[in-house]
Amino acid sequence: TRRAVVIGVGHYLPDRVVPNSYFESTLDTSDDWIQSRSGIQRRHFAAEGQTTSELATHAALAALADAGLVADDIDAIILATSTADLTFPSAATMVQSALGMKKGFAFDLQAVCAGFVYALSTANAMILSGQAKRMLVIGAETFSRIMDWTDRSTCVLFGDGAGALVIEAQDGTGTAADRGILSTDLNSDGQYKDLLYVDGGVSTQTTGHLRMQGNQVFRHAVEKLASSAETALEKAGLTAADVDWVVPHQANIRIISGTAKKMGLSMDRVVVTVQDHGNTSAASIPLALSVGRDRGQINPGDLIVTEAIGGGLAWGAVVLRW
C-alpha cells in the first residue's frame, strides 16, 4: 500500500510581533477581553511589501532543510491560501520560481481556514494516484491585508505566517500502524456564506475586508470539528483513544478546548499555538505541527488528528501518523 508520509516540516513567522495592547489605543477593546474570549496574546504581521509567497518560500526552505532535500527533489507544490500575492499567477508558482524549480507543477488551493486540511487531502490523493512522489504542502497567509482595522470583532483575531510539510510516497502495510496519512474527511456547506466572508473580489470589481459573525461561526465550529475528526478516525479504523495529538486550526482557545472535550480528550493531548500566532487561517495547522515538533511534543510514530473550519463554511480533518 502506498502512503503519503511526512518527511519534513518547517515554518516562518514575520519579525513584527504585535501584542494585544497595540489595539487598546485605537479601539474600544482590552488585552483582557481578547485573551479571555480568544486565548490570543500576540500575533505576527508581515512587513510592508512582504507577500504571502515570500512567507511561503521561507517555510518551504525550512521544511526542505528539515527533510534533507533540495528543491529539485520535489515534484509538486500545493499552497493553501486565501491571500495570494496577485489574482494570478498562483502564489505557488511564485514559490516554485523562488526555490529555483523548473520542473514539476504548482498550484494554489483556497478553502480559507480549512485550506490546509483540503491541501493535505489533495496531496494525499495525488501521491496515492502516482501523480506525484514528493510534494511540498504549504499554508501561508497575510490576513493583515484584509482586516478592517475599525472592526474590533475581527481585527484583533488574525495574524500572518506560513508553515510547510514535505510529504513523500512510501510503501506501507495498509494498516493504521503505517506512518503517513491514514484518512481524510472533507465537508462544506455554502448556505453559510454570510457567516464569514470577504466583501469584495475580482468578479465583483471591488476590494474587500473580512466580515464575520463570530458567535454564529463559533456555534457551528465545535460540533462540526468534533464530528469530522471522529469520521476521519473511524475511516482509519481508530478512535479518539488512539490519538496522541490533536493539532487543530488555531482560531480560538474556546473552540479548541470545546472540540477536545467533545472528543473526550484532555488538553494535554492538544497542540496550542493560538496565544502566539492568532488565527493565521490556512497557515495555522502547519505552523502548529512545526512548533509542536520543535517543542518536542510531536514525535515519530505519534498518531495525529488535524481539524479545521472556516469560511464557506468549509471544514474537515486528516488523520496521520508522524
Binding site for ligand ACO (CB under 6 A): 29, 33-34, 37-38, 112-113, 152-153, 156, 196, 214-215, 217-218, 221, 251-252, 255, 279, 281, 310-311
155 in active site: no
As a whole number of Å, the end-to-end CA separation of the chain is 17
C-alpha cell at 264: 473526550
Nearest CB to ligand ACO, comparing residues 33 and 192: 33
The active-site residue out of 113, 124, 155, 277 is: 113
CB of 98 to ligand ACO, least distance (A): 25
Check: CB of residue 289 under 8 Å from CB of residue 298.
yes
220 in active site: no
CB of 96 to ligand ACO, least distance (A): 26
Check: CB of residue 109 under 8 Å from CB of residue 82.
no
Give the residue nearest to ligand ACO (CB): 310
**Nearest by Cα to 285 from 182, 148, 140:** 140
Nearest CB to ligand ACO, comparing residues 139 and 310: 310
The active-site residue out of 44, 249, 252, 277 is: 249
The H or E element that residue 130 is part of is none
Nearest CB to ligand ACO, comparing residues 29 and 97: 29
Give the length of the chain: 322
C-alpha cell at 313: 463554511
C-alpha cell at 102: 523548473
Nearest CB to ligand ACO, comparing residues 180 and 278: 278
CB of 221 to ligand ACO, least distance (A): 6
C-alpha cell at 198: 470577504
Strands 2-12 and 16-19: unpaired
Residues assigned a catalytic role: 113, 249, 279
